[in-house]
Structure 1
């Protein structure tokens, strides 16, 4: 902002960019509601005319930020913002360091694995590996859930100082308030004591999540690696062996982050 002229009172003058603001309003609205909306609904919620929203929507579609829901006139966010986030220096570093270790883990164990971070009080899958078992659980990069409703989200939050924990949840005040509930505090404290999380999936039936933190140089969890173990008839999963291998993978990832 150093190139902005000073105003009469010595403060930096601000500039209005109406087109940019409308575009950002649309993106933020769709991110907040978490579901596709029609152009008319977007205009109503933003209290703008349908014609000016239509022009912005057209440009955002052309640039790949919005996609139209099949068979309807409703619009949703594409993966483009997510992809841009991954290509940021921090996202690239985390993925480039951890993904090769995850691939080695999946090759040796056969299990799928997900690299998960927190963003806007939600879990976000940055990368996945599929393993080589004939039946595993994988999700697409970008998949996410409310942090406290996901085992990986609770794990990441558990390995944070209190102030950082609240900062990570500031985009969802209702969920942030849940951090004060005794049962949540107890659950997070137990995860820290164990150093990992093994629990039934909060999203998929017949799946047990095994998750460990990737601890960065500051001693906080930068991410989690989660292994969704599918429960199958007649097949016994050695959860202890998976946990041991996963802990080693996360420990090595943390060391590499510290020296990268």
Structure 2
């Protein structure tokens, strides 16, 4: 019988490390009650024996600990400390952007998010719910593939280097989530050109059918994108009658944030 752990190898990767990270990501999705071994195995597609071996190592290193039930696992204090350092690194930008997220949520009726690019993924740094918020499993710390992300388009359209773009589209088999998922780098580059011309990015049902998103970049003094503000929602509300109105709302706020960062020589996202 073929092992359920069997995956295509990627050049330059350590498979056990990737599996361990997938366990940490799975644990972050469970509440304080924790996750059972079977929960983790099901979520990560690892065999229970492999998951158990990796969990034992992470428990010993305090990245994972036992939950209230001895049969469950939760994130340990060391991973919480690591996450706290990331929060500190983005604290200035979150404080600056928060009032604008609140205003966008009120003006648009949708949830507004502060998003950064982290390797091949976009990551939610902060969010404000809107009265018509789409009920999705989106929370601070959630990540999603950059090739499906309006935020990644907004950020990459205003960066001088192609390094991040090469990383996203190299050395892996990108997953097709919908018929509109972009898997070709040239297609993605054309989206970046359109984003630069209009000032905001559009994601049209590229990660989930019926869901679209608009995002605009926050720029530093050099005109390079630090992060983006995004507003996802049902395509019927985001794209109709036209995306220009929502795009203008977001751009008005990202322009103000950029002006503050530029005038104050504020650090934005620490690097």
Offset, 1:160: 1.0
Matched, 1:215 2:216: no
Query: d(CA) in 2 for partners of 1:76 and 1:147?
Result: 28
8 Å contact kept, 1:94–1:257: no
Equivalent residue in structure 2 for 1:184, among 182, 185, 188: 188
After superposition, the Cα gap between the structure-2 partners of 1:189 and 1:171, relative to the gap in structure 1 and judged at 3 Å, is closer
Offset, 1:42: 5.6
8 Å contact kept, 2:121–2:144: yes
8 Å contact kept, 1:151–1:211: yes
* Residue aligning to 2:50: 41
Offset, 1:212: 0.8
Matched, 1:198 2:202: yes
What is the CA RMSD across the aligned residues, in angstroms? 4.0
8 Å contact kept, 1:214–1:223: yes
Equivalent residue in structure 2 for 1:66, among 56, 64, 67: 64
Q: Secondary structure at the match of 2:222?
A: coil
8 Å contact kept, 2:150–2:213: yes
* Residue aligning to 1:99: 98
Q: Secondary structure at the match of 1:145?
A: strand
Query: d(CA) in 2 for partners of 1:223 and 1:116?
Result: 6
Q: Deviations over 1:76-97 (max 9, x none)?
A: 87873773253233x1112111
Q: Deviations over 1:97-127 (max 9, x none)?
A: 1122111221233221111111121110111
After superposition, the Cα gap between the structure-2 partners of 1:38 and 1:126, relative to the gap in structure 1 and judged at 3 Å, is farther
8 Å contact kept, 2:119–2:164: no
Q: Secondary structure at the match of 1:125?
A: strand
Offset, 1:146: 1.8
Offset, 1:209: 0.9
Query: d(CA) in 2 for partners of 1:157 and 1:212?
Result: 11
Query: d(CA) in 2 for partners of 1:121 and 1:56?
Result: 26
After superposition, the Cα gap between the structure-2 partners of 1:39 and 1:124, relative to the gap in structure 1 and judged at 3 Å, is same
After superposition, the Cα gap between the structure-2 partners of 1:87 and 1:157, relative to the gap in structure 1 and judged at 3 Å, is same
Query: d(CA) in 2 for partners of 1:238 and 1:86?
Result: 37
Offset, 1:153: 1.7
After superposition, the Cα gap between the structure-2 partners of 1:107 and 1:182, relative to the gap in structure 1 and judged at 3 Å, is closer
Aligned pairs, number: 219
Query: d(CA) in 1 for partners of 2:87 and 2:259?
Result: 22
Query: d(CA) in 2 for partners of 1:59 and 1:108?
Result: 49
Matched, 1:128 2:127: yes
* TM-score of the superposed pair, with normalisation by structure 2: 0.64
Query: d(CA) in 2 for partners of 1:257 and 1:203?
Result: 32
Query: d(CA) in 2 for partners of 1:232 and 1:114?
Result: 19
Query: d(CA) in 2 for partners of 1:31 and 1:55?
Result: 14
Deviation larger for 93-102 or 157-166: 157-166
* Residue aligning to 1:19: none
Offset, 1:140: 1.0
Matches within 5 A, 1:71-82: 80=80
